[in-house]
Structure 1
Amino acid sequence: MIKLIGLDNKPFVVNADQIEKLEQIPESVITLVNGRKYLVKESNDEIIEKVIQYKRKIFLGDVKQPSEEIF
Protein backbone atom coordinates (compact mmCIF):
# COMPACT_ATOMS: atom_id res chain seq x y z
CA MET A 1 0.00 0.00 0.00
CA ILE A 2 1.22 3.50 -0.82
CA LYS A 3 0.06 6.78 0.66
CA LEU A 4 -0.92 9.53 -1.79
CA ILE A 5 -2.56 12.97 -1.66
CA GLY A 6 -5.72 13.59 -3.66
CA LEU A 7 -6.48 16.91 -5.36
CA ASP A 8 -8.68 17.72 -2.35
CA ASN A 9 -5.50 17.61 -0.18
CA LYS A 10 -6.75 14.51 1.65
CA PRO A 11 -4.36 11.59 2.03
CA PHE A 12 -5.47 8.11 1.00
CA VAL A 13 -3.90 4.73 0.45
CA VAL A 14 -3.78 2.70 -2.77
CA ASN A 15 -2.90 -0.95 -3.21
CA ALA A 16 0.23 -0.67 -5.35
CA ASP A 17 -0.38 -4.14 -6.81
CA GLN A 18 -3.66 -2.93 -8.34
CA ILE A 19 -2.17 -0.07 -10.39
CA GLU A 20 -2.56 -0.73 -14.11
CA LYS A 21 -1.65 2.62 -15.64
CA LEU A 22 -0.31 6.09 -14.77
CA GLU A 23 -0.98 9.21 -16.85
CA GLN A 24 0.21 12.81 -16.41
CA ILE A 25 -2.34 15.39 -17.70
CA PRO A 26 -0.93 17.63 -15.85
CA GLU A 27 -1.86 15.95 -12.55
CA SER A 28 -1.31 12.25 -12.21
CA VAL A 29 -4.17 9.90 -13.02
CA ILE A 30 -3.90 6.43 -11.53
CA THR A 31 -6.00 3.74 -13.20
CA LEU A 32 -6.49 0.53 -11.24
CA VAL A 33 -7.04 -2.89 -12.79
CA ASN A 34 -10.76 -2.60 -11.97
CA GLY A 35 -11.00 0.61 -14.07
CA ARG A 36 -11.31 2.99 -11.12
CA LYS A 37 -9.33 6.24 -11.55
CA TYR A 38 -7.77 8.57 -8.99
CA LEU A 39 -6.34 12.08 -9.48
CA VAL A 40 -3.39 12.77 -7.20
CA LYS A 41 -0.90 15.56 -6.57
CA GLU A 42 2.21 13.39 -6.80
CA SER A 43 4.00 13.15 -10.14
CA ASN A 44 4.24 9.83 -11.97
CA ASP A 45 7.92 9.63 -10.98
CA GLU A 46 7.03 10.11 -7.30
CA ILE A 47 4.36 7.40 -7.51
CA ILE A 48 6.76 5.01 -9.20
CA GLU A 49 9.36 5.67 -6.50
CA LYS A 50 6.77 4.98 -3.75
CA VAL A 51 5.82 1.70 -5.42
CA ILE A 52 9.50 0.70 -5.71
CA GLN A 53 10.14 1.52 -2.04
CA TYR A 54 7.04 -0.41 -0.97
CA LYS A 55 7.95 -3.50 -3.02
CA ARG A 56 11.58 -3.33 -1.86
CA LYS A 57 10.39 -3.47 1.76
CA ILE A 58 8.28 -6.53 1.00
CA PHE A 59 10.97 -8.41 -0.93
CA LEU A 60 13.64 -7.63 1.68
CA GLY A 61 11.37 -8.72 4.53
CA ASP A 62 11.38 -5.23 6.04
CA VAL A 63 7.64 -5.12 6.63
CA LYS A 64 6.71 -3.48 9.92
CA GLN A 65 4.28 -4.84 12.46
CA PRO A 66 0.57 -4.01 11.94
CA SER A 67 0.71 -1.34 14.66
CA GLU A 68 3.45 0.54 12.79
CA GLU A 69 2.94 2.76 9.75
CA ILE A 70 4.27 1.19 6.51
CA PHE A 71 4.15 4.17 4.16
Structure 2
Amino acid sequence: MIELTRLNGDKFSLNALMIEQIQSLPDTTISLINGKKIIVKDPHTEVTALIKAYYQEIGIQESLIEVGEANE
Protein backbone atom coordinates (compact mmCIF):
# COMPACT_ATOMS: atom_id res chain seq x y z
CA MET A 1 0.00 0.00 0.00
CA ILE A 2 1.15 3.53 -0.72
CA GLU A 3 -0.02 6.61 1.17
CA LEU A 4 -1.39 9.48 -0.92
CA THR A 5 -3.26 12.74 -0.32
CA ARG A 6 -6.59 13.67 -1.89
CA LEU A 7 -7.14 17.23 -3.14
CA ASN A 8 -9.08 18.03 0.07
CA GLY A 9 -6.05 17.06 2.19
CA ASP A 10 -7.33 13.67 3.39
CA LYS A 11 -4.66 10.98 3.47
CA PHE A 12 -5.47 7.47 2.28
CA SER A 13 -3.72 4.23 1.37
CA LEU A 14 -3.95 2.73 -2.09
CA ASN A 15 -2.99 -0.75 -3.23
CA ALA A 16 -0.30 0.05 -5.80
CA LEU A 17 -0.99 -3.22 -7.62
CA MET A 18 -4.37 -1.80 -8.68
CA ILE A 19 -2.82 1.13 -10.59
CA GLU A 20 -3.04 0.95 -14.36
CA GLN A 21 -1.98 4.48 -15.34
CA ILE A 22 -0.83 7.81 -13.87
CA GLN A 23 -1.33 11.13 -15.67
CA SER A 24 -0.67 14.79 -14.89
CA LEU A 25 -3.70 16.72 -16.17
CA PRO A 26 -2.35 19.09 -14.43
CA ASP A 27 -3.48 17.34 -11.22
CA THR A 28 -2.13 13.84 -10.78
CA THR A 29 -4.85 11.43 -11.92
CA ILE A 30 -4.52 7.74 -11.13
CA SER A 31 -6.53 5.24 -13.18
CA LEU A 32 -7.14 1.89 -11.54
CA ILE A 33 -7.59 -1.46 -13.25
CA ASN A 34 -11.27 -1.48 -12.19
CA GLY A 35 -11.91 1.75 -14.14
CA LYS A 36 -12.00 4.14 -11.16
CA LYS A 37 -10.02 7.37 -11.29
CA ILE A 38 -8.51 9.10 -8.27
CA ILE A 39 -7.12 12.65 -8.28
CA VAL A 40 -4.36 13.34 -5.76
CA LYS A 41 -2.19 16.26 -4.63
CA ASP A 42 0.99 14.20 -4.82
CA PRO A 43 3.12 14.92 -7.89
CA HIS A 44 3.40 12.27 -10.63
CA THR A 45 7.10 11.70 -9.87
CA GLU A 46 6.42 11.13 -6.16
CA VAL A 47 3.63 8.63 -6.87
CA THR A 48 5.93 6.75 -9.26
CA ALA A 49 8.69 6.67 -6.63
CA LEU A 50 6.24 5.36 -4.00
CA ILE A 51 5.10 2.61 -6.37
CA LYS A 52 8.69 1.56 -7.14
CA ALA A 53 9.56 1.49 -3.42
CA TYR A 54 6.45 -0.59 -2.70
CA TYR A 55 7.31 -3.07 -5.46
CA GLN A 56 10.82 -3.41 -4.02
CA GLU A 57 9.41 -3.85 -0.51
CA ILE A 58 7.17 -6.76 -1.53
CA GLY A 59 9.81 -8.26 -3.81
CA ILE A 60 8.25 -7.95 -7.26
CA GLN A 61 10.53 -5.26 -8.71
CA GLU A 62 13.02 -7.85 -10.01
CA SER A 63 10.22 -10.04 -11.39
CA LEU A 64 8.82 -7.13 -13.40
CA ILE A 65 12.28 -6.35 -14.81
CA GLU A 66 12.73 -10.00 -15.86
CA VAL A 67 9.30 -10.06 -17.54
CA GLY A 68 10.14 -6.85 -19.42
CA GLU A 69 13.45 -8.29 -20.64
CA ALA A 70 11.74 -11.51 -21.76
CA ASN A 71 9.23 -9.52 -23.83
CA GLU A 72 11.92 -7.60 -25.75
TM range (shorter): 0.7 to 0.9
The structure whose RCO (Cα within 8 Å, separation 6+) is larger is 1
Q: Give the structure with higher Rg (CA).
A: 2
Q: Which has the higher helix share?
A: 2
Q: Deviations over 1:23-48 (max 9, x none)?
A: 10111000000010100011111001
- Scaled by the length of structure 2, the TM-score of the pair is 0.79
Give ranges in structure 2 of 5+ residues lacking alignment: 61-72
- The count of aligned residue pairs is 60
Give ranges in structure 1 of 5+ residues lacking alignment: 61-71
Identity across aligned pairs (percent)?
33
Q: Hey, which bits of structure 1, 4+ residues long, moved more than 6 A?
A: none
Supply the RMSD in Å over aligned alpha carbons.
1.2
- Scaled by the length of structure 1, the TM-score of the pair is 0.80
